[in-house]
Amino acid sequence: MTKLIGLSGSLRQGSYNSALLRSAAGLMPDGAELAVGTIRGIPLYDADLEAAEGIPAPVTALKEAIAGSDGLLLATPEYNSSIPGVFKNAIDWLSRPNADIKRVFGGKPVALIGASQGGFGTVLSQNAWLPVIRYLGADLWNGGRLMVSRAQTVFNQDGTLADQKIEEQLRSYLEGFVAFARASRHGAAS
């Protein structure tokens, strides 16, 4: 079984990116599953807090889930043409202490998806993630891109996908990423 973990970079209850991630969990190929994690409850990064209290429990739990997974799927919103601060903050915590970066992210297959109400999807946010993913030593899957534009027309009121074309694109995207994660896992085992 190929086990992926997915994170949405939005805390909003009606988030299109969280809806996209939930849809992805329901469209996984045979022999693969996507557990949807959360960045909710992660405080703002503060080195004084880290020194005084250590790594917060929600961060530790998420780090262990990522480290134990076969891949990480990031569903990124786009705020002011870049990465949402709350999402970057979560990754900053997940990379603490520095000695854990390799264990949690090193060689980890990572893929980016995103939904936006604008006409260009999340192209700028996805591009802004590239140096972060590179720094973490993760293995970005470049076999496809999924940027959902005009998300308000793509989802039903309950957050389910209403657009058959986007559903097929997401299904195809997931098949490619799962194949990449499996090849990476088998490559690491040899």
The pTM of this model reads 0.96
Low-confidence ranges of the chain (pLDDT < 70): 188-190
Q: For the chain, what is the domain count?
A: 1
- pLDDT attached to residue 185: 80
Q: Under 8 Å CB-to-CB from 56, ≥6 apart: which residues?
A: 41, 42, 43, 49, 93
State the residue range of the domain holding 155: 2-189
- pLDDT attached to residue 186: 73
Q: Which two tokens stand for residue 170?
A: 């997401």
- pLDDT attached to residue 92: 98
* Cα–Cα distance measured from residue 30 to residue 10, given in angstroms and rounded to the nearest whole number: 28
- pLDDT attached to residue 189: 55
- pLDDT attached to residue 187: 72
Q: Under 8 Å CB-to-CB from 140, ≥6 apart: which residues?
A: 110, 111, 112, 130, 133, 134
User: Which domain CATH number covers 107?
Assistant: 3.40.50.360
Q: Under 8 Å CB-to-CB from 45, ≥6 apart: which residues?
A: 89, 92, 93, 96
| pLDDT tens-digit map of 164-186 | 999 999 999 999 999 999 999 87
- pLDDT attached to residue 93: 98
